[in-house]
Each structure stands twice: as C-alpha cells, then as structure tokens.
Structure 1
Amino acid sequence: MSPRTPKKGKGGIRTDTDLEHKKKGTRKERASFLILCEGKTEKDYFVGMRSRQGPHIDVDAPKVDHLSIIREAVARRSDEYDAVWCVLDTELDEGLTSALISEAKRGSIDLCLSTPCFEVWLIMHHTDCTRSFLSANEAKRRLRSVAPGWSEGNTRFSDFLHGLDAACLRARQLDPTGEDFLRNPSTNAWQLVLAIRPKA
C-alpha cells in the first residue's frame, strides 16, 4: 500500500485521520529578531509590538554608548536570530553616524537610525514631520505637543498603533531609500517595523 492510499477497515470505511497525512516539519517557524535600543523609549515601543501572530522579538536597552551597543549586538548575534537590529539616534553628529554605519557593516548588523532622535518616528504617527530640528530636545517637545500623554518614561506602542501606517508613509516619503541617515528630520524605523510586523 502506498503512503497516499487511505487505510480502510471493515466495510471499506477509512480508519486513518488527516493528522497522519501531514508531513513532519511543515509547520512554519516564526522568524526571530534581536533589537538592541539606545534607551527606554525605543525599548518600550518595540516590546509593545510583540504579538502571537508576528515574529519572536527580543528587545534590550544596554546602558552603554552608541558604538558599544553595536558591538554588543555583534557579540549576541547567533543562529537563533534571523536578524539583529540596533535602534540608535544620530544626535545630528556626522562623525558619530559614519562610525555607527561602519561598525554595523563590519558586524553585519542592521541599523535603525533616527535624526535627530527616535521621537521623530513617534511624531510621524500623529502628523507630518518635515521641519528640521536643532536638537533632540526640540523634537521631544514637538512630540509632547502632538501626543500630550507621552513621556520618555512612559511610551506605549498601543498609543501609537493607530498611526503606524501613516508613520511608515511619512518616513518613506522623506527618505525612500532608508539610507539618508543625516537628513533632518529622518528615520528608517519603517524598515524595521515592516520586518517585524505580523504579515497579513
């Protein structure tokens, strides 16, 4: 009897089940990501993106400088993860940004960079964000004006979920390549979000 021939008992009635016909190992594995963040705001945002339907996401915010975060990401990279990302601010510092890009390339780490800071990405969930900022603090003040309940110590992804698609669109319009890291303002957070967002 071939494996595809139904088993039959007395009276020609099938005695096998559909479970017996399923091939082992055909269950789709969840993708797995490691995201190392510069601060609590970023960590809280991406922890909030975890879902049963989406990939497995490990998020951490090591209390070290920008370059050390990338080096830690390299040290923690393993076959367990499909991709490892570092979420960092450029601080409007061209020298720092160039160093981050070089370090990430050497270590095969994906970068999510925001200029001047991650709060630009959060602003985009609520409104257009095209005017340059003189500092990260100015961007944070702008975020508080469009999202009055927000604070650095209390970032909830659920507060931004409704504007996620709009934020992706706005960020891509500013930088379609996701590589114009020092454009002010800009962020390629949309690339990370699209990678970890549950697929429809």
Structure 2
Amino acid sequence: MVGLGRETKLGRGKSSRRSRPTVLIVTNGEKTEIQYFEALKDEPWERSYHVSFKRGDPRNLVREGSLEKANSDYDTVWCVCDVDHYEVSNLIREARNLGVEVALSRPCFEVWLILHLRDFGRPLQNAKEAEREIKRILPRWDKAALRIEDFREGMAVALSRAKKLAEPPAGNPSTDVWKVVELLGTPEEDDG
C-alpha cells in the first residue's frame, strides 16, 4: 500500500542554540581600539559583536554609527572615542537622539588600558602623556601592536577602577569603555 511508510518531516528543526544579541562597536581609533576589541572577540562573550573603524571626529562617528544601526540588525551601537582634542559637550545628547551609545575616554582610550594594569587617577594632558604612562608600567608597550595578553587578566579590575573615576568628558582621567565591556557580559563557560 502506498503511503503507509514512516512519516518524515522535511523541514529543519529549531536550533537549540539561543540567539545572541549583537553589538556594533564603532571607533575612530585606527589602531589601539580596533586591536583591543578584535583580540577580545576570541572570548566567549554573552553577546556577539562587530568592530568598525570610521574616520572623523566623535560627532561624525555618532552619525556613522546611527546610519549603521538603521541599515543593519544590530541590537546596540556603541561609539568608542577619545575626548582629548574634540568638543563633545552636546555629543551624548545627540547620540541618544540618534539611538546610539557613546563610550568616551579622556584624554584617550589608553586610560582604559592603564586601568587594567594599575589604579590611576592623575590628570593627563593628552594621548602622548597617556602612552608614556603605559610605557612606564609596561615597557614593551607598542601602540601599533597591542598584546591582549598584557591586559586580559586585568579586565575585571579595570571595570571596577573605571567606575570609580568621574565620568567623561568632565573627568580627567576618565573612560566609559567599561560600559561596553559590561554590556558584552562575562565570557561564557564553554560547554565543551
């Protein structure tokens, strides 16, 4: 008899893996920021993310981030930028109006890296001074060749230290990068 065989379903079954919210990190930092976040992609974060470099000042970065969000499926867009020589007084409000988040560092992203290595609160005049401070702590430091091994172990303490500083752009030194890292969540344990 025809049709009395075992019934099969030809459709695909549902995936047992949960969907991970996605984050876009947009930065105008051509070297250090890109290297840092790209190196951390190997960690099993709760949220997946993509890193994108955009040229220009923080205001341009926020606008580019807004366009990326409008034309993609990203759940959240974070613009990671330095305060050092930019006027950013209205930037946070503009970012909120455009639906993106901003993680500022004053004077620069290197403040975030310093906090991985030691507690730090002395004002810094500019990015060059911040780089000199990292070199004092970590003599082999090379802005063009970030070694994530130098910073990975200090991430939790950097989060704690950064939260104690005044918020950028007023605080010097200061950084909001901890907010991005906290949003990514703690790296998940591999179920192996």
Q: TM-score interval w.r.t. the shorter chain?
A: 0.7 to 0.9
The equivalences for 1:90-101 within 5 A come to 90-91=83-84, 96-101=87-92
Secondary structure of the structure 2 residue equivalent to 1:98: coil
Percentage of pairs with the same residue: 36
Residue 69 of structure 2 aligns with which residue? 77
Q: Which ranges of structure 1 fall in alignment gaps of 5 or more residues? A: 1-22
SS of the residue corresponding to residue 77 of structure 1 reads: helix
Per-residue CA deviation, residues 85-118 of structure 1 (Å, 9 max, x unaligned), is: 000111165xx12132132122111111111111
Matched, 1:184 2:172: yes
Distance in structure 1 (CA, Å) of the matches to 2:109 and 2:101:
16
Q: Provide structure 2 residue ranges, at least 5 long, that are not aligned to the other structure.
A: 1-12
Q: CA RMSD in A?
A: 1.9
- Residue number in structure 1 paired with 2:9: none
Name the count of aligned residue pairs.
Answer: 173
Task: Work out the CA distance in 1 between the residues paired with 2:85 and 2:111.
Answer: 13
Contact 1:90 1:182 in 2 (8 A): no
| Cross-structure match for 2:160 | 169
1:53/1:84 CA distance change after superposition, 3 Å: same
- CA drift of 1:138 comes to 0.9
Asked whether the equivalents of residues 66 and 100 of structure 1 are also in contact (C-alpha less than 8 Å), the reply is yes
Match for 2:152: what amino acid? Answer: L
Shift of 1:147: 1.7
Distance in structure 2 (CA, Å) of the matches to 1:69 and 1:34 = 12
Q: Partner of 2:22 in structure 1?
A: 32
Q: Is residue 113 of structure 1 aligned with residue 104 of structure 2?
A: yes
Give the one of 33, 42, 50 matched to 2:33: 42
> How far apart, CA to CA, are the structure 2 residues paired with 1:53 and 1:30?
11
Task: Spell out, residue by residue over 1:1-48, the C-alpha distance to the aligned partner (whole angstroms, 9 max, x if none).
Answer: xxxxxxxxxxxxxxxxxxxxxx83653111211001121211111111
**What residue in structure 2 maps to residue 157 of structure 1?**
148
Q: Give the Cα separation in 1 of the matches to 2:83 and 2:89.
A: 9
Structure 2 letter corresponding to 1:124: L
Say if 2:104 and 2:168, in contact at 8 Å, map to a contact too: no
Instruction: Write the letter of the residue equivalent to 1:67.
Output: R
Contact 1:31 1:82 in 2 (8 A): yes
Of structures 1 and 2, the larger Rg is shown by 1
